[in-house]
Amino acid sequence: MQFTAKKIAELINGTIEGDPEVAVSSFGKLEEATEGQLAFLANPKYEEFLYSTKASVIIINSSLEVEKKLSATLIRVPDAYSSFAVILTAYSEIAKANLTGIQEPSYISSSATLGENVFVGAFAYLGKNVTIGKGVKIYPQVFLGDNVTIGDNSILYPGVKIHHDCEIGKNVSIHAGCVIGGDGFGYAPQKDGSFKKVPQIGNVVIEDNVEIGANTTIDRSTIGSTIIKSGAKLDNLIQIAHNVEVGMNTVIAAQSGVSGSTKIGKNVMIGGQAGIVGHIQIADGSKINAQSGVGKSIKKPNTAVTGSPAYDYSQALRSQIISRNLPELEKRIKNLEQLIEQLKKEKITD
């Protein structure tokens, strides 16, 4: 597929400097791009490559002052990074639009309902009463249990497993290897020291415009629903336990874990490898630093925490400064002790 600079500028409301009819057919990093490719510059660290790149079209920030004459056509926008994301999204949607039909072998229950322009890849399994919306893409080896619903234009990448009764909204992307709706970790201690499994009879509800990274697992609830709300973004290798709620537009980085029945508010940011205990609440707008261990509720909105156990981020920074200054503080204390001893001796002499 080819796109002219004029067409790209129209898509992102950019201003062209150079030839509006120059065409590109692929993308490249600014420092590696060749003729016929589109690149972008958002990070000032890469500005030097603006003058050596072979890219035909470059998206740059409106505020950038170009110091030398360039052969490439420039498209100026307020935010080059966001605009480039818009272009990539449009490109990928065009590519996916051509992917339709049902590949063989695959199993689709006679009671399943499929919308228009659906793609079902080879070795996929669609159970009883599964409902698939229009434009859904189901890649090979996906498993959909009985009564699963998938909203319009959602994408399930290879090897995704969605267990019975779970609900997936519109425009959801679930990447390879995810398991949605596996049993929650619920066991009742017995008098003899053994554990009796507590049946997990709830489901998982994933609302619209959610993206879930590869090999992430989201457990079904004991009763009710484990809920991932609209606009949330989950990275790879995350564990979401039973009855958890993840709020709107919350982002969680890789290898984090959220224990059962915890409620996370909207617009929360959780760094990689963070751990959150069960049955607590995380207030809207909270920021949890990477590798933090959150052991109690964060009740005040927009609070930032770090450490294990996690505590206020600004206090943690002050503690780190003090820790780094300990050798100097020790030296000063020793000098003071020597001075005190000297003053004592002088007093005795007097």
| Structure tokens given for 205 | 């509800």
| Structure tokens given for 118 | 């659906």
Determine the straight-line distance between the first and last CA of the chain, rounded to whole angstroms.
96
Under 8 Å CB-to-CB from 223, ≥6 apart: which residues?
201, 202
Contact of 59 with 78, CB cutoff 8 Å: no
Contact of 289 with 270, CB cutoff 8 Å: no
Q: Pairing mode, if any, of strands 23-24 and 3-4?
A: antiparallel
Choose the catalytic residue: 163, 164, 175, 242: 242
Closest CA to 173 of 135, 216, 212, 140: 212
Q: How far apart are CA 295 and CA 201, in angstroms?
A: 27
Q: How far apart are CA 313 and CA 264, in angstroms?
A: 19
| Structure tokens given for 305 | 């925490």
CB atoms within 10 A of CB 256: 24
Q: How far apart are CA 168 and CA 174, in angstroms?
A: 10
User: Is 242 in the active site?
Assistant: yes
Per DSSP, the three-state class of 322 is helix
| Structure tokens given for 143 | 């498993």
The full 3-state SS of 97-116, as one line of letters, equals HCCCEECCCCEECCCCEECC
- Residues tagged active-site: 242
